[in-house]
Structure formats: structure tokens, C-alpha cells
């Protein structure tokens, strides 16, 4: 396409659609580009997606959104990480914080000293004791990280739990105030240019025909533009990520306002618990070939901490992705581009990185084939890295039951098998291009599932056990005493950002 971008059309008004509208209206302010968003209130949104990753703070900040105003508007709470209960065995507990562990010693990563100390028979305690945010979370406290140069022990990130519907409304207000035009109508068909197959216009139920130069498909699982109109195939990853459905239900707030998500392993899947200011979001994700759905609902309802405020809502999905992120004059964001399952709350984060990618290559003066290729390459790699990280949660599990046995025995993607092998050999924590999860996140699950290096790093071999013990003990005690100070999570919110 060589013509300049004058009319940009977004199909879908879920989290993806309104994030796209907000980002585009901000980025394209002062230009002639007309932005329209089509959504159908008759179709509705998927209505889930309440836990996020720390990058959302950057997204909001890039739009000039005040963090506390956002928290109040979306009934949000703070998220320091996720507690995985029962994944490594019935009563196991793995806390995945958004932070590093400890601090390097003499330039060698912390974990190498930790494993060396353990091999020497020293009392090293548990890995989470070296993470300030994990220790805060364990006491239901919250504090915002202070920039203390030179103190890596206080360096951590946080994310949010929020009401996704309220967030979409918040962003809608933002985008409409910046000129985005909303059309409430249902797409019935797509008009394509017979010469090159590009999308020319969307035909809507009311008879309206919306012409555009570029289209962002945020239409949810059906992927109406990228998948249906442009026939970009779906790549099914359910042999690696076998869950294919969920029941979601809201409940009264739990007695304690936790600063983390709970992910509780169950017989045929797992259950989430997401604390918001005004309610708790709950859901059970399951693999239908391994468990009867009536059991899933029973377990979900039995596991609620507060009374349910509605009935469970059933959602079906297939894990995988569209083979391309960008085809002709269309890009897909959100569920229209694929879905890896709710574990680790990566979907909204992927909307955000997809938007950054689109903004980097936005075809203001025409579409450039090299840019499209690069956008597709990076989108593909990013999703594969996340896929591998999610599979790690399953493939070394320590549970009984058909799903869990299947996952222990399934063949792994080569990229993941190689990564695990590198860690098992000498504790290499490999950071590859476009990794969404940092080495500390991988370390969390290696340690949680008992995957350990066979040999020490040569850099730690000659250190004296006393020196190692002293250094590790000092880190633990600094973190433990600092983590006792802050307010409880509930008190922090009441003081600074109650809805
Ligand atoms: C069980 C479950 C749990 C999840 N948990 C999390 C989580 O904790 N964290 C996270 O980051 N993500 C999570 N996700 C993913 C998250 O829900 C989505 O990424 C997010 O909601 C974005 O959805 P969307 O906007 O792509 O699609 P949708 O919300 O489905 O929106 C689709 C939009 O397209 C419109 N539309 C559809 N068809 C038409 C038509 N014919 N004409 C006009 N408009 C149409 C709809 O009206 C709607 O506005 C979860 C997903 C599932 C299934």
C-alpha cells in the first residue's frame, strides 16, 4: 500500500480495542488521521482479564494517565507477584515475584552463590527470602519501590489487579476526548480490494459501510479480520498448553486484601483468585479432556473465600496464535491474535507490546514489506518465549492426576528443552531476544520444581564457605527487616487510592 494513512479503523471495544484507541489517539494527535472504533454492544466482550504485568504502568504513564486516578477508577489493587499453590506437589507453594533475587557477589549472579552454599550444606533458607517483594507479599504488605541507587535488594516492580470493564470504560473516555469516534454496530462482512486483497471497508448491520486505509482487529477469539477475512491460519498449541476452558465468577472480597494473585492447582487445571477493592475475581481453568466440567464448577464454588455474587460464566478457548500478527493492511491485537491461557496474565501485556510494535512500524506513508516482516518475526518470537515459560509451569509439576501426568510426559519444544538443559548443567539462566520473563522468573520455577544445576559455576568454586554464608545471611536479614516496615496492602490503598 503506498497511500498515506488517513483513516484508521479498530474493530472491537474490549480491553484490546480501547487500549489501541487510547494509544493511537495519543500517538496521532495533531495529525489528520481519523480514528474510528466499531464495537457491538449486542456481542459484548469476553469479560475477564483482571491481572496484569508491571509493563502496564509504562503504558498508562506513556498516555499521561495518573496512576492513582487509574487505581480509583478501576477498583484496582497492587500485585507483587503470583502465589502458585500445589503445583510442585499437593501442599507446595511457589511465589513468583516481579523482582530479582538477592544481589550479585563479585560480579557473579546471586543464584550461583545460593546453589553453591546449598551444595556446601549451609543453611541458605528459601529462595523467596531473598526477594523483598516476595517477603512483603507474604505479610500482605505493600510499598512502592524507592529508587535507592546501589541497593539492588530494594529493586522490584509491581503490577495491578483491576476491573477490566472499568479499565475499558476509562480508556474509552480518554480516547473519545481525543477524537476517536465510536460506532456501536455489528460487522456483517468485509469488502476487499480484488487487486491486492487488502481490506477496503467494513459493512455493518445498520447498512453503514466504513472505509479505511488500515485496520486493527481487536474482535476477540473469532479474529474476524485477520483470521476470517484475511485467512491467516491459527496455530494450535493445545498439545503443549492443554487447558481449553474456564468458569469465572465474582465473589465478595476476601477477608485479607492480598497484594498478589493466587493460582491454585486443581485436578484438571487450576483456579485463580484475584483481589480487587470491591470484589474478588475467581475462575477455574480446565482441560476438558481430563476432567468433567461439573467437577470444575463444584471445585470452583467450594474454593471461594467470599460469597459468590453471580453464577459462573463459561468461556471456551483454544491455546495458540495466528501465524501472523500483520497481514496486508491489518494487524491483530488481543484475543484476535491468539491466546496462551490465563496463567501469568500475559494477554494484556501482549496487547501492549503489540501496540508498541505497531507504533514503531505504523504505515503513515504506506506499508513497507521489510517492516511487516520484522513486526511478524518479533511478534512470533515473543509469543514462543512466553509459551515456553508457561509450559515450564506444567512440565515439571509434582501432582497426581491425568492432566498432570500428561504434562510431565509431553514432548517439549526444543527451545524450552535446551533452556532447561542449560540450567541443569551449570545454572545458566539464558536471556534470549524478546523474553518477556526475566531470568529471576525462570529461576523461581526451576527452584520451585526442584530443577537444579549439576555442577557449580567455576566462579564460586574457590570462595570460602564462611564468606558465602555471611553474604547470604546479610542479604536475608536486610530484606526481612525492611519487609516488616511498610503498611498492610489494605491500609496503603485506604490511605492513598481507595476507589
Ligand atoms: C479465562 C480467561 C482469563 C483471562 N485472564 C487474564 C488475565 O488475568 N490477565 C490478562 O492479561 N489477560 C487475561 N485474559 C485475556 C484477556 O481477557 C484479554 O486479553 C482481554 O480481555 C482482551 O480481549 P479482547 O479485547 O481481545 O477481546 P474481547 O473482550 O472479546 O472484545 C472483542 C470485541 O469485539 C467486538 N466484536 C466481536 N464481534 C463483533 C462484530 N461482529 N461486530 C462488531 N464488534 C464485534 C465485541 O463487541 C468486543 O467489543 C483472560 C482470558 C480468558 C479467556
Q: First and final CA of the chain: distance in angstroms?
A: 47
Segment (H or E) for 203 = strand 199-204
Give the distance (Å) from ligand 1 centre to CA of residue 498. Answer: 27
CA 239 and chain centroid, separation: 21
Q: Which residues are annotated as a binding site for FAD?
A: 13-16, 335, 348
Structure confidence at residue 147 (pLDDT): 64
Structure confidence at residue 64 (pLDDT): 98
Give the distance (Å) from ligand 1 centre to CA of residue 164. Answer: 10
Q: How many residues does the chain have?
A: 499
Segment (H or E) for 370 = helix 369-395
The residue contributing the CA closest to ligand 1 atom 50 is 49
Q: Let me know: does 31 contact 353? Beta carbons within 8 Å.
A: no
Q: Which three cell numbers stand for residue 148?
A: 535507592
Atom of ligand 1 lying closest to residue 39 CA: 44
For the chain, the domains span 7-50+163-235+320-367, 81-149+387-483, 245-316
Count other Cβ atoms within 10 Å, centred on residue 77: 29
Exposed/middle/buried for 181, CB within 10 Å: 0-12, 13-18, 19+?
Answer: middle
**Rounded Cα–Cα distance for residues 256 and 165 (Å):** 24
pLDDT beneath 70: ranges in the chain = 1, 147-150
Structure confidence at residue 148 (pLDDT): 67
Give the distance (Å) from ligand 1 centre to CA of residue 171. Answer: 15
Q: Which residues are annotated as a binding site for L-tryptophan?
A: 344
Structure confidence at residue 149 (pLDDT): 64
Query: Please, which residues bridge with residue 184 across strands?
Result: 39
Residues annotated as part of the active site: 79
Quote the DSSP letter at residue 54: T
For the stretch 442-497, pLDDT in tens is 999 999 999 999 999 999 999 999 999 999 999 999 999 999 999 999 999 999 99
Atom of ligand 1 lying closest to residue 13 CA: 49
The residue contributing the CA closest to ligand 1 atom 14 is 49
The DSSP bridge pattern shows strands 7-11 and 214-217 to be parallel
Structure confidence at residue 244 (pLDDT): 98
Structure confidence at residue 268 (pLDDT): 97
The residue contributing the CA closest to ligand 1 atom 49 is 13
The residue contributing the CA closest to ligand 1 atom 27 is 220
For the stretch 136-156, pLDDT in tens is 999 999 999 876 666 777 789
> Given the C-alpha cell 483468585, which residue does it identify?
273
Q: At the topology level of CATH, where does 7-50+163-235+320-367 sit?
A: FAD/NAD(P)-binding domain (3.50.50)
Tell me which of 335, 352, 383 to substitute to probe ligand 1's pocket, judged by most ligand atoms within 8 Å of the beta carbon: 335
CA distances from 249 to 292, 302, 305 (A): 18, 12, 12
Count other Cβ atoms within 10 Å, centred on residue 481: 10
Give the distance (Å) from ligand 1 centre to CA of residue 410. Answer: 29
Count other Cβ atoms within 10 Å, centred on residue 317: 19
Kindly give, in sequence order, each residue whose CB lies less than 8 Å from that of residue 117, ignoring residues fewer than 6 positions away.
Answer: 124, 465, 468, 469, 472
Ligand 1 pocket, Cβ-based, cut-off 6 angstroms: 11-17, 38-40, 43-46, 48-52, 164, 186-187, 218-220, 224, 246, 248, 283, 315, 317, 334-336, 342, 345, 347-348
Give the distance (Å) from ligand 1 centre to CA of residue 354. Answer: 15
CA distances from 263 to 217, 266, 285, 294 (A): 30, 9, 10, 20
Amino acid at each position: 500500500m503506498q497511500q498515506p494513512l488517513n483513516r484508521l479503523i479498530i474493530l472491537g471495544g474490549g480491553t484490546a480495542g480501547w487500549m489501541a484507541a487510547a494509544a493511537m489517539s495519543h500517538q496521532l494527535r495533531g495529525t489528520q488521521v481519523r480514528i474510528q472504533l466499531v464495537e457491538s454492544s449486542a456481542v459484548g466482550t469476553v469479560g475477564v482479564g483482571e491481572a496484569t504485568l508491571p509493563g502496564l504502568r509504562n503504558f498508562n504513564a506513556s498516555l499521561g494517565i495518573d496512576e492513582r486516578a487509574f487505581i480509583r477508577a478501576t477498583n484496582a489493587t497492587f500485585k507483587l507477584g503470583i502465589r502458585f499453590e500445589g503445583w510442585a506437589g499437593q501442599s507446595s507453594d511457589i511465589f513468583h515475584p516481579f523482582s530479582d533475587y538477592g544481589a550479585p557477589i563479585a560480579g557473579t549472579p546471586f543464584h550461583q552463590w545460593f546453589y553453591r552454599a546449598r551444595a556446601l550444606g549451609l543453611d541458605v533458607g528459601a529462595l523467596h527470602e531473598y526477594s523483598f517483594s516476595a517477603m512483603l507479599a507474604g505479610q500482605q504488605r505493600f510499598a512502592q519501590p524507592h529508587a535507592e541507587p546501589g541497593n539492588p535488594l530494594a529493586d522490584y516492580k509491581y503490577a495491578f489487579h483491576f476491573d477490566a470493564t472499568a479499565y475499558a470504560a476509562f480508556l474509552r473516555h480518554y480516547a473519545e476526548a481525543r477524537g476517536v469516534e465510536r460506532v456501536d454496530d455489528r460487522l456483517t462482512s468485509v469488502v476487499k480490494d480484488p487487486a491486492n486483497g487488502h481490506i477496503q471497508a467494513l459493512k455493518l448491520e445498520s447498512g453503514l459501510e466504513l472505509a479505511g486505509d488500515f485496520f486493527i482487529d481487536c474482535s476477540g477469539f473469532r479474529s474476524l479480520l485477520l483470521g476470517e477475512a484475511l485467512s491467516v491460519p491459527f496455530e494450535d498449541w493445545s498439545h503443549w498448553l492443554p487447558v481449553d476452558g474456564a468458569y469465572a465468577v465474582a465473589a465478595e472480597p476476601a477477608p485479607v486484601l492480598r497484594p498478589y494473585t493466587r493460582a491454585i492447582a486443581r485436578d484438571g487445571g487450576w483456579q485463580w483468585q484475584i483481589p480487587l477493592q470491591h470484589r474478588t475475581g475467581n475462575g477455574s481453568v480446565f482441560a476438558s479432556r481430563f476432567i468433567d466440567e461439573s467437577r470444575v464448577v463444584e471445585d470452583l464454588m467450594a474454593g471461594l473465600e467470599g460469597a459468590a455474587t453471580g453464577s459462573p460464566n463459561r468461556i471456551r478457548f483454544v491455546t495458540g496464535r495466528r501465524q501472523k500478527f500483520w497481514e496486508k493492511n491489518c494487524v491483530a491485537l488481543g484475543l484476535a491474535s491468539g491466546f496462551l491461557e490465563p496463567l501469568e496474565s500475559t494477554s494484556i501485556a501482549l496487547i501492549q507490546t503489540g501496540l508498541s510494535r505497531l507504533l514503531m512500524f505504523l504505515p503513515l506513508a504506506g506499508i513497507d514489506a521489510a517492516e511487516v516482516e520484522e513486526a511478524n518475526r518479533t511478534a512470533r518470537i515473543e509469543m514462543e518465549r512466553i509459551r515456553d515459560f508457561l509450559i515450564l509451569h506444567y512440565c515439571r509439576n509434582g501432582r497426581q492426576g491425568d492432566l498432570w501426568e500428561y504434562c510431565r510426559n509431553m514432548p517439549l519444544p526444543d527451545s524450552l528443552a535446551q533452556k532447561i538443559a542449560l540450567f541443569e548443567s551449570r545454572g545458566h539462566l539464558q536471556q534470549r531476544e524478546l523474553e518477556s520473563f526475566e531470568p529471576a522468573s525462570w529461576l523461581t520455577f526451576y527452584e520451585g520444581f526442584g530443577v537444579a544445576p549439576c555442577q557449580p559455576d567455576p566462579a564460586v568454586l574457590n570462595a570460602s564457605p564462611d564468606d558465602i554464608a555471611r553474604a547470604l545471611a546479610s542479604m536475608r536479614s536486610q530484606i526481612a527487616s525492611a519487609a516488616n516496615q511498610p503498611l498492610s496492602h489494605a491500609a496503603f490503598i485506604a490511605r492513598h487510592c481507595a476507589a
